Amino acid sequence: MKRIAITIVAAALLAGCTVHPKGEREERDIAIAAGKTYEKPVEERQLPPLSDRPTADDLVRFALLNSAEVERAYWEWRAALEQVPIDGTQATNLSLSLSSSVVNGNTSWGQTTITAGNDPMADIVLPNKLDAAARRSLEMARAAGKRFHKMQLELRAKVLDAYYDYALNAELIRLSRQNIAWLQITRTLADTRVRTGGGSQAELLKAENELDMALNDLANLQAQLPANRAMINALLNRPALADLPVPDAVPSTGPVNGDDAAILGAIDSDNPELKALAHEIRSRKVGIETASLQYQPDFSISAATDLRGITQTLSSMITVPILKYEAIHATIAQAEANLKAAEAARRQSKSDLAAQAISDLVTLRDVDRQLSLFEQTILPRAKQIVPVTRQSYETGRGSLLELFDAQRSLLDIERLVANLRTTRNKRLASIEAMGAPLYPVPANTH
C-alpha cells in the first residue's frame, strides 16, 4: 500500500506541476506597479482635476491616466503574462477511478479496485518542454509590456500634436484681430482723406474690402476652435464639448539634447517597438527549441490496488512520436521561418525609424535656422516698415496699396513664425515618441 500511495502522489505532482521561468516574477512586479491606476473600476477612479489654465504637460498627464486605449494595452500585457503559467502547466490532470467485479449479484472489498493516474486523454509532458513553452510565453508578455509603453509615447505625441494645433489656431486668431484693428484704423484714415479731398473713393473701397476679408478670415479661424478642442478632449477621454481654455501663445520648447548621432543611438536602443520585436525574436528562438523537444516521448503512469491491499498493479505507457516525425520536422521549419520573418521585421522597423528620425531632425534643424533668421532679422525689419509706410501715406508721399502690402507682409511673416514654432514642437514630439530621451513621459511608464 505504501508504494501505491507514493506512486499516486508522484502521479499527482507530475500531472499538476507548473514551471515558472526566471524573470516572470520581476515582469509581474513591473506590470503591477505600472497598473496601479487601473486597480479600481472606472466609475470609482478619482482623476486629478485639470487646472484653469492647463499646460501641455498637464494634458498629457491627464490623458495617460484616463485613456481607454492605454488601459487596453495594459490589460493585454497582463493577459499575456497569464499565458506563462498556462503554458508552463501540465495539460493532463490526476484521474481517479473505482471499479468493482460483481459475481452472482454480489461484490466485496477484495473485488473492488481503486486506480490513480494521469488523465488518459493527455500524457504527462516532461518538465523541459513546459519550461520552454513558459519561456516562450514570457518573452511575448515582455513584448506586450513594451507595446504598452509605446502606446503611452504615442498618446503623448497625439495630445501634444492636437494641443499645438489648438495653440497655433489661437495665435493666428490673435494676429488676425491685431490686423483687423490696424485695418479699421486704416479705413478711418482713408475715409478722412476722401472727405478732405486728399484721397480717392477707390482707396476707401479698397480699405473696406481689406477689412471685410480680414473679418472673414477671423471667422474661419474661430470656427476651427471647437474642432481643435474636441480633438484634445477625445484624446483625454472627456466629453467633446468640455471646456478647455485657449492657450495664451504657441508653446516654446527648449534646445535638443545631444547631437543627431546620439539621438539615433538612443532610438536604436530605447525604442519600445524595437524592444518588443527583440522579445518576439527571442520568443521564436525558444519556439524552435519547443518544436524540437516534440521528438522526446511523453508518458502516462497509473497505480491500482484492491481495497484489501492484497493486489497492487503499477503501469506506465510511453508515447513515442514516430508517426509524427514529418509534422514535427515541419513545425521546426515553420518556427525557423517565423524567426527569420521576425528578424526581417525588426530590421525594417529599425530602418524606418532611422529614416523618420532623420527626416524629423533635418526639418528641426532647418526650422531652427529659419526661426533665427525671421525672429532676429526679418520680423524686426518688417515691423519697422509698416509705420514708415503709413507715415508716407498720411503725408501723401505713399500709396494705400504700398501700406497694405507692408501690413500683409508683416502679417504673413508673423503667421509663418507661428507655423514654424508649431512645426518645431511637433517634430520634437515625434522624435520623443520614438523613444529618444528628450522629454520624460509622466505616469505609468514601463
pLDDT tens-digit series, residues 136-165? 999 999 999 999 999 999 999 999 999 999
Predicted confidence (pLDDT) at residue 25 exceeds the cutoff of 70: yes
In terms of DSSP bridges, do strands 112-118 and 312-319 run parallel, antiparallel, or are they unpaired?
unpaired
Q: How far apart are CA 80 and CA 220, in angstroms?
A: 49
Residue 16: what pLDDT?
Answer: 52
Q: What is the residue type of 392?
A: S
Indicate the pLDDT class of residue 349, thresholds 50, 70 and 90. Answer: very high
Q: How far apart are CA 147 and CA 446, in angstroms?
A: 10
More confident residue, 89 or 117: 89
pLDDT tens-digit series, residues 277-321? 999 999 999 999 999 999 988 888 888 777 777 777 888 888 888
Predicted confidence (pLDDT) at residue 24 exceeds the cutoff of 70: yes
Q: What domains are there in the chain, each with its CATH number?
A: 2-433 (1.20.1600.10)
Residue 15: what pLDDT?
Answer: 47
96: phi then psi, degrees, rounded to nearest 5: -120, 135
Q: What is the residue type of 351?
A: S
Quote the mean pLDDT of the chain: 88
Indicate the pLDDT class of residue 438, thresholds 50, 70 and 90. Answer: low
More confident residue, 106 or 226: 226
Closest by Cα among 216, 220, 223, 214 to 181: 214
More confident residue, 63 or 442: 63
Q: Residue 400: how many CA atoms within 13 Å on its side-chain side?
A: 23
Residue 100: what pLDDT?
Answer: 75
Predicted confidence (pLDDT) at residue 446 exceeds the cutoff of 60: no
Least confident of 107-116, 164-173, 218-227: 107-116
- The grid coordinates of residue 65 equal 491616466
Residue 439: what pLDDT?
Answer: 52
Residue 437: what pLDDT?
Answer: 67
